[in-house]
Amino acid sequence: MAVPSHAAGSSTPEPEFGLLETAPADSNDEVFRYFVDNTHPDATDRNNPFGTADLPRMTLPIGQLDAGTILIIAGGPYSGRRVSWHVSGSADRPVWIRGASTDNKPIIRQQIRLLGTHAIIENLEFDRSRTSIEILPGSHHLAVRSSHFFGEGRLDGHTSVLGVYGTSDARTTHVVFADNEIHDFGDIQPGSRENDYHGIKASRYCDNIWITGNRIFNMGGDSVQIGDARLSDAERCSRVFISDNDSVSYTHLRAHETLRSISYAVFCLKI
């Protein structure tokens, strides 16, 4: 599904990838599919590396996902160890990691670490504490969209639900966070000690980041945080576009105390 969150009148540029693409049709034979549904009575991983709708995998696959792959996830919840995916998509054949239903999203309770290029995660639901999705250094042209993240409203900082960062020799670039709902992570009660549980954080060494059309509220930390106070000029994120987000608390949108943490940013807030 295309994400309709980027308003036509927005002052931010449209990203190169991640906002308007639609998943291939089920009838497309050129797509390489995984199918996972741990609630199916016949679900198994034994001699079943990929799964089908009639005989799905029981657990999420890990490792390499090549260009043109679509990983369809139904059922849930999925619990256990961290899942790492190395995605090798392309602009015309991206990797898709998506819930089978937009109305009944599968619940994921495993941390996801994503490395690579040209992949879209969509239609998933997360209700775990700590970081849910982490985008690793050197990645580019990735998107997390149309997903739901909700916590228990308890003290469990200092982290973020969605995180992206790079390194000095592997900057991360062209990442889109769009049309997500993130809420109730960390303790927001009056008198609670500081617990910086943020919604979305772009830490350092990352460029061309879009945060658009999201709904982020009831967070122990910031809805969106860019950078850290002690970053050097070289470490700072650049070209960060924050626009068309609903329910973002005006006190919880910051570039860690000072806009010097960002080389270039455009904030376009809904009133």
3-state secondary structure of 58: coil
- The Cα 154–Cα 7 span in angstroms is 34
Sorting pLDDT into bands at 50, 70 and 90, what band is 256?
A: very low
Sorting pLDDT into bands at 50, 70 and 90, what band is 222?
A: confident
Residue 6 pLDDT more than 60?
no
The backbone region for 68, taken as left when phi is positive above 0, alpha when psi lies in -120 to 50, beta otherwise, is: left
Query: 262 or 221: which carries more pLDDT confidence?
Result: 221
- The Cα 223–Cα 198 span in angstroms is 6
Where helices occur in 62-145 by DSSP H, the ranges are none
pLDDT number for residue 271:
41
Residue 251 phi/psi, 5-degree rounding, is: -85, -5
Residue labelled with tokens 């799964």:
51
Q: pTM of the entire structure?
A: 0.88
Q: What would the pLDDT profile of 105-147 be if each residue is shown by its tens digit?
A: 999 999 999 999 999 999 999 987 667 999 999 999 999 999 9
Give the residue among 233, 239, 235 at the shortest CA–CA distance from 210: 239
Average pLDDT over residues 62-77: 96
pLDDT number for residue 186:
82
Sorting pLDDT into bands at 50, 70 and 90, what band is 214?
A: very high
Sorting pLDDT into bands at 50, 70 and 90, what band is 68?
A: very high
Average pLDDT over residues 49-59: 96
Residue 248 pLDDT more than 60?
no
C-beta of residue 204 within 8 angstroms of C-beta of residue 228: yes
Average pLDDT over residues 223-248: 85
CB atoms within 10 A of CB 188: 19
pLDDT number for residue 8:
42
Average pLDDT over residues 10-31: 82
Residues 6+ apart with CB under 8 A from 95: 65, 66, 67, 68, 69, 70, 71, 87, 88, 89, 116, 118, 119, 120
Residue labelled with tokens 């617990």:
195
- The Cα 25–Cα 15 span in angstroms is 23
